[in-house]
Amino acid sequence: MRRHYWLLLFPLGVFAFVAPVVSYFNAIFTTDTRWVVAAALALVMVGTGRAFSLLRQDVGLALAAYVSWCVLTYSWSEVPELTLLKSGALALVGMGLFAGGQYWVVRLGWERALSYLLPILALALFAGAFGQAAIEQSSDGLTLYEGLTNNPNMLGSLMNMAVPFLLWQSYRSRGRRRQLILWLGLLGVVLGVLLLSVSRSSIVAALITCGVFLAVVGIRRNGLLSALAAALLCGSVMAVPDVYETLEQRYVRKVPEGSELAVLNSRQELWEESYEQAIKGGIVGGGYGVTIGDMDFAGGLTSVGYGREKGNSQLAMMEETGIVGLGLYLMFLVVLFYRATLPMRRSVDPDMKVMGAILLGALLGQTVQSLFEAWWVAPGSPESAYFWAMSGVATGLSVEIRQRVTSFMHRLPERFWQDRGAGHGDG
């Protein structure tokens, strides 16, 4: 304990929730073992007092308020057993990984804040490279790549999770040509597999992460070059109509060639039902994890087979936890993103600004992705574990920034009077 080897439970915890979706790895990391790792991490966080330190922070209080409300919905839940299990899982995963992410930054330093994603990168490359025969035909006849995840959207989400680490490593290696080529090459592979999956929500999330990153490190320093590249790309698309049509059909509308289906065709029916159910949720909701009107829960450590695909985290939240739960969720996001922007607003270290930009972009991307996937109300999902861990790391970086600013302000008067004394002496 003294050497903090237990900190390895943090990256292991994230990995334990992501690995079950990948073939071969799911023989060891099952849907049951993930809870064992999460419980071990939470136990350490409580035993060392780190979990309670969250309550001294605005973001920790906001998170605790949201989780507490989810637990409280057990009192009126239509399926109390399910609500108790799911809200308990939310507390275990959300607060455990959130606290673990903060302490990870404290102990390892902000420069290695994203190193916990190295196992996720290895998992993503394995799933993408060794599943070459995994081609799926969608219900609309579109060819999709699912790798070793058995789901194109899950493969896309896995690739998106590896992007922040690759961006940081590429940035840190900018002065070392061979290393830069290596990391950029891996980034190209990951982005290529992401495009093959045609997972639009994950593609948008990755674009947001890359966009925020470039806004700090790329566009500012190479504005003319970026503008020329954008103009060349637009010109190429306009000059070759087939390129535009292919991109529009495959990645915007996600339909096979010649189809006239709308952009949100695959989500429209899903969202309509989720909206109707969200209205039924009213002020307090039907209970965390519950599909209103469906009482057929078989029990156990998983809710697979119960309920329906909800397709939107915010509508799902309204259905399960009501307007109160949605309000607490929005309050948490406001405080979290205020914290996540601190490194970009207050740091004088350009590298720290870049790290902050990557974390902010990843959180923004995941939040946008939640508009199309209801992982927020699925605490055992890979995306949920990834989000809570990233939130903790981003908050840990903001704590580092505040400590640096406070230390500087405390030293400022002393320097000021020393400079004035030196000035009088010269006179």
Residue 204, class by beta-carbon neighbours within 10 Å (0-12 exposed, 13-18 middle, 19+ buried)? middle
- The mean pLDDT of 345-354, rounded to a whole number, is 88
**Pairwise CA distance, residues 64 & 143, whole Å:** 43
Higher pLDDT: 252 or 221? It is: 252
Range of the domain at 165: 5-422
| pLDDT single digits (tens) 41-62 | 989 888 887 777 777 889 999 9
Alpha helices in 77-199 (DSSP H): 80-90, 96-108, 118-129, 152-172, 177-197
Whether 197 shows a pLDDT value over 80: the answer reads: yes
Question: Is residue 427 domain-resident?
Answer: no
Among the residue ranges 67-81, 155-169, 371-385, 400-414, the one predicted with the least confidence is 400-414
**Pairwise CA distance, residues 41 & 424, whole Å:** 58
Residue 229, class by beta-carbon neighbours within 10 Å (0-12 exposed, 13-18 middle, 19+ buried)? exposed
Residue 3, class by beta-carbon neighbours within 10 Å (0-12 exposed, 13-18 middle, 19+ buried)? exposed
**Pairwise CA distance, residues 214 & 170, whole Å:** 12
Q: Which of the listed ranges 47-51, 252-256, 359-363 does the model predict with the highest average pLDDT?
A: 359-363
Higher pLDDT: 253 or 189? It is: 189
Half-sphere exposure of 21 (CA within 13 A, CB side): 26
Do the beta carbons of residue 339 and residue 395 sit within 8 Å? yes
Whether 427 shows a pLDDT value over 50: the answer reads: no
Question: Is residue 335 domain-resident?
Answer: yes
Question: Is residue 406 domain-resident?
Answer: yes
The whole-angstrom distance between residue 64's C-alpha and the CA centroid of its chain comes to 19
- The mean pLDDT of 74-82, rounded to a whole number, is 91
Question: Is residue 408 domain-resident?
Answer: yes
- The mean pLDDT of 26-49, rounded to a whole number, is 89
Question: Is residue 249 domain-resident?
Answer: yes
Residue partners of 381: CB distance under 8 A and separation at least 6:
17, 375
pLDDT at 88: 93
Whether 418 shows a pLDDT value over 50: the answer reads: yes
pLDDT at 195: 85
Question: Is residue 383 domain-resident?
Answer: yes
Do the beta carbons of residue 109 and residue 368 sit within 8 Å? no
pLDDT band at 374 (very low <50, low <70, confident <90, very high): confident
Whether 234 shows a pLDDT value over 90: the answer reads: no
**Pairwise CA distance, residues 186 & 169, whole Å:** 10
Among the residue ranges 61-70, 143-152, 290-299, 388-397, the one predicted with the least confidence is 290-299
Higher pLDDT: 175 or 340? It is: 340
Whether 3 shows a pLDDT value over 80: the answer reads: no
**DSSP reduced 3-state for 286:** coil
Question: Is residue 292 domain-resident?
Answer: yes
Q: Could you give phi then psi for residue 49, rounded to 5 degrees?
A: 85, 0
- The mean pLDDT of 260-264, rounded to a whole number, is 58
Two tokens, residue 61: 């209080």
**Pairwise CA distance, residues 148 & 127, whole Å:** 5
Q: What is the pTM of this model?
A: 0.87
Q: What is the mean pLDDT of the chain?
A: 83
pLDDT at 151: 87
Higher pLDDT: 60 or 424? It is: 60
| pLDDT single digits (tens) 102-151 | 999 988 999 999 999 999 999 999 998 887 665 655 545 567 788 899 88
Two tokens, residue 58: 């605005």
Alpha helices in 174-299 (DSSP H): 177-197, 200-217, 223-239, 241-247, 265-281
Whether 248 shows a pLDDT value over 70: the answer reads: no
Say how many domains are in the chain.
1
Whether 1 shows a pLDDT value over 50: the answer reads: no
Q: What is the torsional sign of CA 12, 18, 21, 24?
A: negative
**Angle CA 234–161–5, to nearest 5:** 150
pLDDT at 51: 76
pLDDT at 262: 56
**Pairwise CA distance, residues 350 & 359, whole Å:** 14
- The mean pLDDT of 75-94, rounded to a whole number, is 92
Number of residues in the chain: 427
